[in-house]
Amino acid sequence: DVKVTQSSRYLVKRTGEKVFLECVQDMDHENMFWYRQDPGLGLRLIYFSYDVKMKEKGDIPEGYSVSREKKERFSLILESASTNQTSMYLCASSLGGWTNSGNTIYFGEGSWLTVV
Amino acid sequence: AQSVSQHNHHVILSEAASLELGCNYSYGGTVNLFWYVQYPGQHLQLLLKYFSGDPLVKGIKGFEAEFIKSKFSFNLRKPSVQWSDTAEYFCAAKHNNAGNMLTFGGGTRLMVKP
């Protein structure tokens, strides 16, 4: 089974703090993703990485950055946390490329971040 | 921009009732479609997916979905729901012009009354 592990399930941070959310996958997947989940808005893509050191902005990248130094690890960074970044953050991974059978995306359990 | 719409934010059903959750996506061409489920306190899990072939897709736990290309729809169905189906359901689409990025709908919270 694919395992996507997010290091922190629950965090409380103060406004202005730098926040790191870590994600590790164990299936040698090329693609990794960071989403945030908010009620009524579904999942919105923040950033996406298709290879080591490669990244693409998603729908809502403002206020976030990412780092992918190793294939299995994808970090989300909030340089200066704000209250509107209080949310559930989901990491995901999938195989790369586009195939007829498709590449299922596998999710971690999520990290609840509260910024006070 | 690509978008995925789920028609209902909240659905309340009694056990044994039939379920249909609507999902529409905004673009044509080659598209992969997914339904994910998130049970309370758990991570997102794949229910079913459509890539090609038979437009009626069977998933886990008795769920199915029908891809209707002419309507840009991928509605999720279950003939008889159970209390354990209480969860949030997300429709998602991946278009070949969008690389590997998945676009999600806003989610539908289903509550099944015992």
Distance, in Å, from the CA atom of A57 to the CA atom of A38, rounded to the nearest integer, reads 19
Distance, in Å, from the CA atom of B29 to the CA atom of A69, rounded to the nearest integer, reads 34
Considering only CB atoms, B49 lies closest to which of A33, A102, A108, namely A102
Chain A partners within 8 Å of B47 (Cβ): none
Residue B101 contacts A where some CB pair is shorter than 8 Å: yes
Three-class DSSP category at A30: coil
Reported for A55-61, long-range contacts at CB under 8 A and 24+ positions apart, including other chains, are A56/B99, A56/B101, A58/A33, A58/A34, A58/B101, A60/A36
Three-class DSSP category at B104: strand
Instruction: Give me B112's structure tokens.
Output: 């099944």
Residue-wise pLDDT tens digits, A37-76: 998 788 999 998 988 999 989 889 999 999 999 999 999 9
Chain B partners within 8 Å of A108 (Cβ): 43
Instruction: Give me A50's structure tokens.
Output: 């298709």
**What domains are there in chain A, each with its CATH number?**
4-97 (2.60.40.10)
Tell me which DSSP letter residue A2 carries.
-
What residues form DSSP beta bridges with B78?
A: B19
Residue B70 contacts A where some CB pair is shorter than 8 Å: no
* Residue contact B103–A96, C-beta within 8 A: no
Chain A partners within 8 Å of B90 (Cβ): 42-43
B2, B31, B102, B108: best to mutate for the A interface, most A CBs within 10 A: B102
Distance, in Å, from the CA atom of A28 to the CA atom of A94, rounded to the nearest integer, reads 9
* Residue contact A43–B90, C-beta within 8 A: yes
**Residues near A53 by Cβ (< 8 Å), separated by ≥ 6?**
A68, A69
In this predicted structure, what is the pLDDT of residue B32? Answer: 87
Considering only CB atoms, A110 lies closest to which of B36, B43, B101, namely B43
Kindly tell me if the per-residue pLDDT of B96 is higher than 70.
no
B31, B97, B100, B101: best to mutate for the A interface, most A CBs within 10 A: B100
**What domains are there in chain B, each with its CATH number?**
4-113 (2.60.40.10)
Kindly tell me if the per-residue pLDDT of B95 is higher than 90.
no
Residue-wise pLDDT tens digits, A75-112: 999 999 999 999 999 999 988 765 545 567 889 999 99
Considering only CB atoms, B102 lies closest to which of A50, A105, A109, namely A105
Three-class DSSP category at B79: coil
- Give per-residue burial for A22-38: e unless 16+ CB within 10 Å, then b: ebbbeeebbbbbbbbbe
**Residues near A26 by Cβ (< 8 Å), separated by ≥ 6?**
A2, A3, A5, A72
A15 compared with A96, residue with greater pLDDT: A15
Residue-wise pLDDT tens digits, B25-41: 987 677 889 999 999 88
In this predicted structure, what is the pLDDT of residue B68? Answer: 93
* Residue contact A94–B100, C-beta within 8 A: yes
Distance, in Å, from the CA atom of B22 to the CA atom of B3, rounded to the nearest integer, reads 14
